[in-house]
Structure 1
Amino acid sequence: MNSKLDVPLHGHSLNIVRQSREALCEVLQSKFGCVAFIEGLDSDHDFGYAHKGKPTVEDWPRFAFMLRAGVQVSVWKGDLTIFKADAVVNAANTQLQHAGGLASALCKAGGPDVQRESNDYIRKHGDLKTGDAIVAGPGHLPCKHIIHAVGPRLPLYPTNSDISRAEPLLKEAIRSILDKVRERRLQSVAIPAISSGLFHYPLPQCADTIVSAVKEYYENYGPYKDHPKEIFLVNHDEPSVTEMTRACKQILAPHNAMTYSQVAASNSKDDAKTSTPSLQMGKVDLKLLKGNIEEQWTDVIVNTTGEDRNLSSGNVSSALLNKAGYEIQKELHYANQTGPVIITKAYRLHCKNVFHTFCAWKGGDAMQQANAQQILSNSVLECLRLAVSNNHKSIAFPAIGTGNLGFRAKEVAYIMLSAVSHFAQNTSKTLEVHVVIYPPDINTFQAFEEQMRYPKEKVSGPSFEPAFNNKDDFSGSKASFPQISLTGSSEEATREAERWLQGLFGSSGTVVLCNNFILHFGEQEHQQLSRLTKRGVRIQEYFQKGFAGITVKGELNEEVAVAGLQVEAILCKIQEEFVRDEEQEISRISTKNVSFQRETLHSSTQEYRDRTSLLSKLNLWMYKVEKVENPALETLFELKKKQLNRSTSRTMFQCISAQFLEMVCRIGFHAQCAPPQDSAFGEGIYFAGTVKKAMEVWMKPIEEYVYFVEAEVLTGNSTRGEQGLILPPAEANSVSGGPDIAVIFSGHQALPKYIITCKAR
């Protein structure tokens, strides 16, 4: 079950996040599996896509130019989470983990389906390569598709040679995007400054490369039916917009640049298309129309009526009665009511059925008003549910409540659209929803149009909660204080992330990082460390008793924390590359895709009860037990059994840090994940025979959570270990440090079976 936690920002922490928000999001995702949304920061020069206030799009392009192929290229300042185009492009990483920058903003606005679909793709097809692009669903975004494209990742301080090597890769990413647009015959696509944020591509060169790639793609073509009409170059920050505008003027023949009035004139033929505001939310297509409700050709038309069921009172009811004829009044009068909606035939209307709802007058005290709001929301939801359960494909609503029921137009827009949003998140059926506004009612149309411009992420929970911006504040408003909003797969994940953040923000001139992946640093990583030292920060590496570490020191606490965060990001990247390489090797040997499951066991199961005895006489209590299943690792374990000619294994334990749990489940055990407090018996992978012994071997301080991995270990022929061994002695398969300590030198000799999460008593 997902867990959410907010970490307030103030003072030093606020400045640290402002300087390194992208790295922070990456590290939180990599170390703890937490998606971080940074809220309440309002710097025009921030590249983290975490604005304060509503997302916006300027009303005119900064630049527009018509290519010879008939494709218009324009530069816009706007937020891609609300930009209207057939497709918007996400600057993705190779594993499609949307944790920082634009990716997290699109993922948040699009809802959980965006990340879920990406995970499914990677599970089936493997990682993308730099330059690749794929087409995916939009979730709740107001577009038809998201195109996930992988641009090149550069060092934190790239050299000219770094940029030269990256340029063809960025052009390849743009070509891949435009190929997808052509294949899907899309009319428009919105492209950001890919690689310029988290991937460190210098902005001026990034803009030049993107614009050149677009020009080169189309310059050899004449007008062609598969070409899109428009390429939008869209960024939300002023520096990116300025550089994109400059690049277009320099590269796309500036003497032919179009003014805004020319752009508007060239688009006038599309006015009919753009005059109908629409919003795609999962399988639900929402459209706002001007018209008469009784003239709609949808499968269902919704009507509101009073408890007396008299259709002659009320503007909507009267209009439907006049069009349908008296038969509809007769059927409604004698119908049995078993729920909040009565369904009748359509008679002379153009629909298949009419859904009659019974809403309440909004008057009286605050409780009565809130009750009326809830009834309205529930009525809309029930109509939508009945529509899909009866296999209808379209439904038309009037602006319920703006007449005799006493609701204000903005209030109705807010409630109805929130209900549609909530429904969209919980249906797998396709449904077209029309909100039909009587043409003279301009204020109501504008109220709905305004709400449709700024959809938020989702509605959570079964009750009426805000999904759209509520400018009237009729149900209260929430102050936007600076904070990091963490979403993780479990409570312990968000709590571990919070503790790590507190340690980072509370560092006083020194940050100590202990991580054996430091031993994998190469020339590039050491150059990155060297660049950090030029900012008034001192960095020192150390290795002692089997532990590798880095100490970051400086005069300014904030600079030290920022530098420490950058080092953490480097370590996370090293670990991700290590895991990716191991996955490929495991897949090659086992001939199976690497995938795993962590199933939380109920406390009533025998497997759970069997493990409670492991903690006897320890100052710990069992918080959670998860069963781990990884078919690829199981295959390798069985192969190792045959190789060692062993049919039995030994149940043993490791005490491990939270950040390595996912890695162990995915690729098994490695020495980097759990170096013991004293590697007196060799430089291999240590296991303890009991949980108590594991606490002694690793001597981890008991904070809130302690994690043990239970494994089946093939010790085979074993001999006494000694300091410095990197392989077992001849004729031995492992070494020991007494009856309760085993050291193996191949991760395939151990298979993770359970993760036991404990808490201090």
Structure 2
Amino acid sequence: MSDKEQGRMPLLPEQAAILGKCAQAFCHAVKVKFNCKAILSNVKENGSFGNNTRGVLCAEKRYSTKLPSGVEVSVWKDDLTHHNVEAVVNAANEKLNHGGGLAQALCVAGGPMIQKWSDDIIQQYGRVKTGHAVLTPAGLLPCKYIIHAVGPKLSQNPSQKEVDRAAPLLNETVNSILQIVLHQNITSVAIPALSSGLFNFPRDRCADIIVKAIKQCREFGGFQGRSLKIHLVNNDEPTVREMERATRAISDPTSTSASYSGAVKDRNQSMTSSSNDSSRFGNIREKGFEKEMKIRKGEAKSPELCNDVTRFASASKGSAANEVPTILFNSNSAEALTEAKAWVLNMLKQSDNMTIKNNHVIYFDQRDHENLHFLQNKFQVHINEFFKYGKGGITITGNPSDVSCAAIEVESMFCKAQELFAGAEECEMLYSVVRWSCKDVPWIQTPENSAVLEKAYLAGLENRVFNNHRFNFKSLTVIDNTGQVSPMRRTCLMTPFMSLNNSFYARTSVTRNDYIGKEARKAFNVCGLHFVKVEKLENIVLKQLFETNMQRLKDKPKRLYQRVSAQFCDLICRVGFQKEFSPPAEQRYGSGIYFSSTVDGAMKLWKDQENEQYIYIIQAQVLTGKSMTLSPHLSLPPTLSKDHFDSLSDLRETYVIFSGQQALPEYLIICPRSSHV
């Protein structure tokens, strides 16, 4: 049985109806919690099921042709807010005020942050001229970027002269889109019939101009052998027909073509963000990007997290109308796939009460609370936030199916909040050990922007383009939009370091014998646990911070254990231990980061992960320093005592620290729940 077949999960009609109402939130949550890609097949947005032709989760590919350069141009009938590409194009106005048409639809689906990022661009750079385009993240959309392109606006019944005068501007708009695609090394882009809707450009002429601009880019050598997919996507039949006509008429005679009826293949996309290619279409028109990605104090990760989510169905041409709705999970981890399936069953159970425990509820902002109010009204449920004794979350009560819908939406909100929190921690952490600087470009000297450059550098990219500047890591220079070249510098504040598998952290599977020693074997045998998988956790940034703290405390680290939930394993490897990630069932010694000196002690501290299929134990080196002894009935953090203490202890096996930089994760040990005695 193939991995793909092992990841298939059929749905009952009532389960498909639930997922049809919250498909985007569901796929986002599965991606973030389990690093799985969820593909919903034969599920419609309105909650019914069947082989739909216009449902949100089904895309219809009408025509495809491959240009001699290798670029594939295809025509689709689909909703652009759900289309599976790396970047979608928004038909924007000069003020980037997304109040109607496609722009409004993208903002509704992608969240209010899209309008905020757009407003920030206007505030910093002014209006976007007709014919130009700018780039922002895609928020909660199932893609990575939105290219906001401003096409010409015509009167309601334009004359031929007015259309002829506007045609060059539409051509320029398409060229601007292609510039951004090429310079950002975007692998797939969806372009609608720009200016043909609210801007009144005739759809037949619009289709001709868009397709011709693509062909001219190929003829002028703009694509340069790129592996690029250009989707011409619209959801109304007349425009789709015009796009197909124009593409067929102008396609190369040697190209191949085929017609489809809702046939879509899943694919993995390479999400790199640099390009050495030049274009004959002029300078890149790209304003504010990573700067616009900042939310709260950290870099928003949501765009990256949502990018790999495949949200529409795959239905063959001759499939039956009553085909069973299905979820297909794609994952490199059998354990993650198992956890994802179990989580789905738990979320779809028929219950009028559901509690989601997650301490990131304390980071919900005003927009999050407004969204909770919206969900409460939309699904006619009661939503209650709680935070007591160091444990937080949300309880939802109401009609069982509505409770499930609201719970999935809330899980997606938690995923977004924890990624924002982790993104902020990641930026601050990187900024503590390495900084990028340039005298002529002072704005890169912030934790957020310096982290963007450092991650690109560690990934081995030669160039990184953002905020209208090109950063060359080979020559260590910055080129602004006027062509001025300035030197930049990478300063390691501690020990110089290079990349670890194109990143600053890595999880590597090791054999049982590579990990287990006499002490470790004894620690797990006491609990009757055996290993399914062992992963070595490495983080070069955390290691430097840990070693600095070890010198400061003059302390020898202890080998301690923490039990965690499946969804926080990667985050701990990435940003270290945080009190929000794994609070124990009972926080007797204050709000800190808890560890146990034994695996058995860890199993006793963390008892409330009953819905997970595996037991996840992280072995860490922990600096406890000078430890303050507390009785079970006294909870005082070290900062409130007369003397300075670095940790708390119960003199038996529990330790509590209050800085994640005092702990270094070493191994993740995954055990089957059934082995626990």
The TM-score normalised by the length of structure 2 is: 0.59
d(CA) in 2 for partners of 1:656 and 1:154? 35
d(CA) in 2 for partners of 1:672 and 1:221? 55
Aligned residue in 2 for 1:329: none
d(CA) in 1 for partners of 2:208 and 2:375? 51
SS state at 2:85 partner: helix
Answer yes or no: is 1:718 the counterpart of 2:627: yes
1:659-687 CA deviation, whole Å, 9 max, x = no partner? 11111000000111111122112211110
SS state at 1:654 partner: strand
d(CA) in 1 for partners of 2:347 and 2:353? 10
Which runs of no fewer than 5 residues in structure 1 stay unpaired?
60-79, 92-100, 111-130, 132-148, 182-190, 200-205, 234-243, 287-433, 438-444, 460-467
Alignment counterpart, residue 265 of structure 2, candidates 433, 445, 456: 456
Answer yes or no: is 1:106 the counterpart of 2:108: no
Residue 258 of structure 1: CA displacement? 3.0
Aligned residue in 2 for 1:549: 393
d(CA) in 1 for partners of 2:53 and 2:142? 8
d(CA) in 2 for partners of 1:106 and 1:548? 36
Residue 530 of structure 1: CA displacement? 2.3
Q: Is the 8 A contact 2:616 2:671 kept in 1?
A: yes
- Residues 22 and 693 from structure 1, CA distance in 2 versus in 1: closer, same or farther, beyond 3 angstroms? same
d(CA) in 2 for partners of 1:106 and 1:179? 21
Give the residue type in structure 1 aligned to 2:61. P
d(CA) in 1 for partners of 2:560 and 2:129? 49
SS state at 2:582 partner: coil
1:545-603 CA deviation, whole Å, 9 max, x = no partner? 3211211001x222111111222122111111110110111011121757211111123
d(CA) in 2 for partners of 1:268 and 1:673? 50
Alignment counterpart, residue 43 of structure 2, candidates 36, 41, 44: 41
Answer yes or no: is 1:14 the counterpart of 2:16: yes
d(CA) in 2 for partners of 1:480 and 1:757? 37
Aligned residue in 2 for 1:633: 542
d(CA) in 1 for partners of 2:10 and 2:121? 37
Alignment counterpart, residue 324 of structure 2, candidates 464, 476, 481: 481
1:410-465 CA deviation, whole Å, 9 max, x = no partner? xxxxxxxxxxxxxxxxxxxxxxxx9989xxxxxxx8xx644899673469xxxxxx
Alignment counterpart, residue 669 of structure 1, candidates 569, 574, 577: 577
Aligned residue in 2 for 1:619: 528
Aligned residue in 2 for 1:587: 430
d(CA) in 1 for partners of 2:228 and 2:108? 39
Give the residue type in structure 2 aligned to 1:639. T
Q: Is the 8 A contact 1:456 1:469 kept in 2?
A: no
Q: Which has the larger radius of gyration?
A: 1
Aligned residue in 2 for 1:747: 660
Identity among equivalent pairs (%): 24
- Residues 12 and 193 from structure 1, CA distance in 2 versus in 1: closer, same or farther, beyond 3 angstroms? farther
d(CA) in 2 for partners of 1:17 and 1:522? 26
Residue 84 of structure 1: CA displacement? 5.7
Aligned residue in 2 for 1:168: 119
d(CA) in 1 for partners of 2:267 and 2:211? 34
- Residues 682 and 2 from structure 1, CA distance in 2 versus in 1: closer, same or farther, beyond 3 angstroms? farther
Give the residue type in structure 1 aligned to 2:396. V
Residue 267 of structure 1: CA displacement? 9.3
d(CA) in 2 for partners of 1:176 and 1:711? 55
Higher RCO (CA-CA < 8 Å; seq separation 6+): 2
- Residues 13 and 588 from structure 1, CA distance in 2 versus in 1: closer, same or farther, beyond 3 angstroms? same
Q: Is the 8 A contact 2:621 2:666 kept in 1?
A: yes
- Residues 588 and 214 from structure 1, CA distance in 2 versus in 1: closer, same or farther, beyond 3 angstroms? farther
Q: Is the 8 A contact 1:602 1:608 kept in 2?
A: no
Residue 26 of structure 1: CA displacement? 1.0
Alignment counterpart, residue 56 of structure 1, candidates 59, 62, 77: 62
Which runs of no fewer than 5 residues in structure 2 stay unpaired?
66-70, 88-95, 97-102, 155-162, 179-191, 230-251, 269-313, 435-453, 456-502
Aligned residue in 2 for 1:534: 377
- Residues 436 and 664 from structure 1, CA distance in 2 versus in 1: closer, same or farther, beyond 3 angstroms? same
Aligned residue in 1 for 2:33: 31
Residue 273 of structure 1: CA displacement? 9.2
d(CA) in 1 for partners of 2:120 and 2:531? 50
1:203-223 CA deviation, whole Å, 9 max, x = no partner? xxx9xx96756659xx99995
Answer yes or no: is 1:83 the counterpart of 2:102: no
Residue 106 of structure 1: CA displacement? 2.9
Q: Is the 8 A contact 1:90 1:106 kept in 2?
A: no
Residue 484 of structure 1: CA displacement? 1.5
Instruction: Tell me how large the CA RMSD over aligned residues is.
Output: 5.4
Give the residue type in structure 1 aligned to 2:599. V
d(CA) in 2 for partners of 1:644 and 1:449? 68
Residue 491 of structure 1: CA displacement? 0.8
Aligned residue in 2 for 1:64: none
Q: Is the 8 A contact 1:39 1:480 kept in 2?
A: no
1:720-740 CA deviation, whole Å, 9 max, x = no partner? 136443445322111102221
SS state at 1:83 partner: strand
| Number of residue pairs the alignment of both structures matches | 480
d(CA) in 1 for partners of 2:170 and 2:207? 22
Report 1:261-276 matches (<5 A): none
Give the residue type in structure 2 aligned to 1:168. D
Residue 521 of structure 1: CA displacement? 2.4
Aligned residue in 1 for 2:246: none
d(CA) in 2 for partners of 1:521 and 1:610? 42
Q: Is the 8 A contact 1:685 1:747 kept in 2?
A: yes
Alignment counterpart, residue 407 of structure 2, candidates 564, 575, 583: 564
- Residues 226 and 758 from structure 1, CA distance in 2 versus in 1: closer, same or farther, beyond 3 angstroms? same
Give the residue type in structure 2 aligned to 1:34. C
